[in-house]
Amino acid sequence: MATASAPFAALEPLLLRHHSRADALIEVLHGAQQCYGHLSDPLLRHVAERLQLPLSRVKGTASFYHLFRFQPPARHRCVVCTGTACQIQGAPALIAAMEEDLGLKLGARRGDGWVSLSEVRCLGTCSDAPLVQIDDSIGRQQTVAGLRRWLQELEP
Amino acid sequence: MSGLRYCASAGCLARGSGALMEALNTAISRGELGDQIQLRPVGCLGPCSQGPLLALDPDGDLYAGVDPQDAETLVAALARRLHQSSDQATPLEWAPARGQRLDLSEPFFQRQRRIVLEHCGLIDPTDLEQAIAVGAYGQLERVLQGWSPEQVVTELQRSGLRGRGGAGYPTGLKWATVARMPGARKVVVCNADEGDPGAFMDRAVLEGDPHRVLEGMAIAAYAVGADHGFIYIRAEYELAIERLRLAIEQAVDRGRLGAGLFGTGFGFTLELRVGAGAYVCGEETALIASIEGKRGTPRPRPPYPAERGVGGRPTLINNVETFANVAPILREGADWFAAIGSAGSSGTKVFSLTGHVRRGGLVEVPMGTSLATVVLEMGEGSPHGSAVKAVQTGGPSGGCVPADQLDTPLDYESLQALGTIMGSGGMVVLDQSTDMVALAAYFMAFCREESCGKCVPCRAGTVQLHGLLEKILAGQASHADLDQLETLGAMVMDTSLCGLGQSAPKPMLSTLRYFRGEYLARLEAP
């Protein structure tokens, strides 16, 4: 983790490996998000400085890709797979149930940071459609009833 | 010796092959003759919908849905047989309490011809020695020690191999073009940004036999005169990324990648680049921009990547499955490969069979096999007594084939004639319950979200098209709206900058072509 004396020190090994080359920007952003949970403004400034890129280029690139986050992740991340196989086998009903139970729209994060609801276009294990991922566990062949029970078990 | 191979690909892992492995390990270490039972992880074994899958050697039997609680009795039965005789050909006296032994004479297995996947499911993908034992890097060595780069290109051209990423461009021709480009510092790129929803062929290849892809890339580098390569893979494929990182490390350690390979002057280094969630990065010029650390926006071609690619250098881009075909073509010869499949589409194609189908998973069949064979015979049709309505191929860039045309052979031209494409190999079966207008709206929403925003027809057109489709779904559209949908669709196809926009209207136009009635039934009375 970062120490007070050297901000974002955990990023140094990765920067060294890529010789602080500008073309490693996306790799560095991945590493930064992994170390610090999300890409905060100071973190993006630090990356821009170390790769000698304009901040606008760093922010512009980061915001282009879906997987980069600019605020801390929720404590529980609910992700519905909306790949084609999941879509035709019930993903829309799962999304509706989750929106209702969590009081959230798809793509939103609750104000207190407890939970977020988002979609992913295909997890690539389509034989078990429809799939829902909550934090690190993947629920296979989800039903609305089963999913509702799962949501109730989430720690507050 | 007895061997147990358990599938350690993402699908079976999600179905509990990890717990099964632990239970088997415990049982083997506790029981007698444990040293004569070898347990190892392998890549995809095929029928993913029945996982976790477990294969038995030397019998070759395949068990589906085996529970960890069955581990004790299985290991005991293996030990009994090892005790009784040296002849391990006697059938094993064992049946799982849950799950079943699969009948390998069924069409799902018999109709397959595994070339790309020949070692997937046989070797431990994390063990380079096992890959080398079945021939990995053997063709690279042979080519480096006796062939000229031109000979390699000619062999690929003669084989008739076409790109497996979607468009079907002749691979040998692409290699020849890059080889002709001046400059000593060329680049080879493997497109592993398998973004079509419902497609997981490349994931399975990378998870099950990563060295096959690395060898194909190294041979390509020798043929076109490149010294550096990138594999661009989507971030969602965590396991495949992990396996690739390990494979590259191992190959470097054993002198299969790096400088001075096999005692020659040829060297090839390889870097992994992980995407960050952008479908458009599967388009080659967007992919190059992303490798360079920029926003993944496409640019007009020409210049083609063969002329100006990564860092302005001549660049060869092929997809995972294309590279995986290279070693067997060189091993068995171009004539052998050209004789497989159909005229104009040689070799095999890997498909991920999913959706409303009884038996889903990964299948590899000769080109020219009919859709009916794959969907109805191998996949055994739709479950729950429903009938197949259509089959979607090519994802958001493709279209659907209605049930009455399932005798169509799977080759590039036949699918194109039906208004769809081979695509990368996603094959989603749709049963009678599927709402085709809603499906068209789904794909349009996908393209709207994934449009990079650079060109107007795609950025604005996909929004308008999606709005019109939603209007039809809500029952508020008129015949004039339907006309506009078709006119606008044709315009977006004709005027967009890259393949994403050019093919975005395809799923919609395809459902309009075959299921127009579903649209008309929703229009307001004039």
pLDDT of the residue at B284: 96
Which of B294, B313, B356, B389 is the best mutation test for A, with the most CBs of A within 10 A?
A: B294
In whole angstroms, give the CA distance from residue B39 to residue B78. 12
Interface of A with B in 80-119 (CB under 8 A): 82-85, 87-89
When CB atoms are compared, the residue of A64, A85, A120 closest to B354 is A85
Provide CATH 1.20.1440.230 ranges for chain B.
436-520
Assigned domain for A115 exists: yes
Show Cβ contacts of residue B68 under 8 Å, excluding neighbours closer than 6 positions: B16, B19, B20, B22, B23
In whole angstroms, give the CA distance from residue B488 to residue B14. 42
The answer to whether the CB atoms of B200 and A126 lie below 8 A apart is yes
Q: Residue A3: is its pLDDT beyond 80?
A: no
Summarize pLDDT for A90-116 with one digit per residue, the tens.
999 999 999 999 999 999 999 999 999
Which of B12, B53, B193, B200 is the best mutation test for A, with the most CBs of A within 10 A?
A: B200
The answer to whether the CB atoms of A122 and B49 lie below 8 A apart is no
Contact B411, B341 (CB under 8 A): yes
The answer to whether the CB atoms of B355 and A23 lie below 8 A apart is no
Interface of B with A in 358-387 (CB under 8 A): 360-361
Summarize pLDDT for B291-324 with one digit per residue, the tens.
999 999 999 999 999 999 999 999 999 999 999 9
Interface of A with B in 130-149 (CB under 8 A): 138, 140
pLDDT of the residue at B86: 67
Give the closest-approach CA distance of B330 to chain A in angstroms.
31
The reply to whether A95 and A27 lie within a common domain is no
In whole angstroms, give the CA distance from residue B119 to residue B123. 6
The reply to whether A54 and A86 lie within a common domain is no
Assigned domain for A50 exists: yes
Assigned domain for A122 exists: yes
Which of B243, B297, B354 is the best mutation test for A, with the most CBs of A within 10 A?
A: B354
Is A15's Cβ below 8 Å from some Cβ in B? no
The reply to whether A60 and A83 lie within a common domain is no
Is A61's Cβ below 8 Å from some Cβ in B? yes
In whole angstroms, give the CA distance from residue B62 to residue B51. 11
- A38, A64, A90 - which closes a domain: A64
Which residues does residue B362 pair with via DSSP β-bridges, in sequence order?
B352
Q: B392 to chain A: which residues are within 8 Å by CB?
A: 84
Q: B310 to chain A: nearest residue by CA? A: A23
Assigned domain for A3 exists: no
% of residues, chain A, pLDDT over 70 = 97
Contact B478, B460 (CB under 8 A): no
pLDDT of the residue at B1: 82
Contact B160, B351 (CB under 8 A): no
Low-confidence ranges of chain B (pLDDT < 50): none
pLDDT of the residue at B83: 87
Show Cβ contacts of residue A72 under 8 Å, excluding neighbours closer than 6 positions: A37, A38, A113
The answer to whether the CB atoms of B296 and A65 lie below 8 A apart is yes
- pTM, 2 dp: 0.96
Cα-trace Rg, chain B: 24
In whole angstroms, give the CA distance from residue B217 to residue B227. 11
Assigned domain for A35 exists: yes
What string of H, E and C letters represents the secondary structure of B150-167?
HHHHHHHHHHCCECCCCC
The reply to whether A96 and A131 lie within a common domain is yes
The reply to whether A81 and A41 lie within a common domain is no
Collapse the DSSP code of B11 into the 3-class scheme (helix H, G, I; strand E, B; otherwise coil) and give the result.
helix
Give the closest-approach CA distance of A114 to chain B in angstroms.
23
Provide CATH 3.10.20.600 ranges for chain B.
347-428
- A22, A41, A64 - which closes a domain: A64
The reply to whether A81 and A145 lie within a common domain is yes
In whole angstroms, give the CA distance from residue B340 to residue B136. 22
Backbone angles phi, psi at B470, to 5 degrees: -65, -35
Give the closest-approach CA distance of B375 to chain A in angstroms.
14
Q: Residue A27: is its pLDDT beyond 60?
A: yes
List strands edge to edge, sheet with B186-192. B269-274, B226-233, B186-192, B315-319
Is A120's Cβ below 8 Å from some Cβ in B? yes
In whole angstroms, give the CA distance from residue B493 to residue B508. 12
When CB atoms are compared, the residue of B236, B293, B355 closest to A23 is B293
CA dihedral sign, ordered B179, B317, B500, B278:
negative
Assigned domain for A136 exists: yes
The answer to whether the CB atoms of B293 and A65 lie below 8 A apart is no
Is B388's Cβ below 8 Å from some Cβ in A? no
Helices (H) and strands (E) in chain B, counts: 22, 16
As its CATH architecture, domain B436-520 has Up-down Bundle (1.20)
Provide CATH 3.40.50.11540 ranges for chain B.
128-338
Summarize pLDDT for A110-153 with one digit per residue, the tens.
999 999 999 998 888 899 999 999 998 899 999 999 999 999 99
Task: Tell me which residue range forms the domain holding A98.
Answer: 76-152
Contact B161, B330 (CB under 8 A): no
How far CA B11 is from CA of B36, B181, B201, B243, in Å, comes to 29, 42, 12, 15
Give the closest-approach CA distance of B208 to chain A in angstroms.
14
What string of H, E and C letters represents the secondary structure of B362-431?
EEEEECCCEHHHHHHHHCCCCCCCCCEEEEEECHHHCEEEEHHHCCCECCHHHHHHCCCCCCCCEEEEEE
The reply to whether A49 and A87 lie within a common domain is no
**Number of Cβ within a 10 Å radius of residue B265:** 8
Contact B397, B196 (CB under 8 A): yes
pLDDT of the residue at A2: 43
Is A64's Cβ below 8 Å from some Cβ in B? yes
Collapse the DSSP code of B332 into the 3-class scheme (helix H, G, I; strand E, B; otherwise coil) and give the result.
helix
DSSP B9: S
When CB atoms are compared, the residue of A24, A65, A138 closest to B14 is A138
Domain count, chain A: 2
Q: A63 to chain B: nearest residue by CA? A: B295
* B128-338: CATH, from 3.10.28.10, 1.10.1060.10, 3.90.110.10, 3.40.50.11540: 3.40.50.11540
In whole angstroms, give the CA distance from residue B369 to residue B392. 16
The reply to whether A80 and A51 lie within a common domain is no
The reply to whether A120 and A85 lie within a common domain is yes
Assigned domain for A1 exists: no
At A135, which CATH number?
3.40.30.10
Give the closest-approach CA distance of B108 to chain A in angstroms.
15
Q: Does domain B2-104 have CATH number 3.10.450.50?
A: no
Q: B430 to chain A: which residues are within 8 Å by CB?
A: 88
Assigned domain for A45 exists: yes
Confidence band of A1 (pLDDT split at 50, 70, 90): very low
CA dihedral sign, ordered B368, B370, B375, B380:
negative
CA dihedral sign, ordered A28, A31, A35, A39:
positive
Q: B278 to chain A: which residues are within 8 Å by CB?
A: 64-66
Give the closest-approach CA distance of A62 to chain B in angstroms.
8
Write out the DSSP string of A71-137.
SPPPSEEEEEE-SHHHHTTTHHHHHHHHHHHHT--TT-B-TTSSEEEEEES--S-GGG-S-EEETTE
The reply to whether A90 and A58 lie within a common domain is no
* B347-428: CATH, from 3.30.70.1140, 3.30.10.20, 3.10.20.600, 3.30.2030.30: 3.10.20.600
The reply to whether A38 and A85 lie within a common domain is no
- A64, A87, A104 - which closes a domain: A64
The reply to whether A84 and A60 lie within a common domain is no
Is B195's Cβ below 8 Å from some Cβ in A? yes
Cis ω for the linkage preceding B125 (within 30 of 0)? no
Is A54's Cβ below 8 Å from some Cβ in B? no
How far CA B343 is from CA of B154, B267, B367, in Å, comes to 19, 36, 9
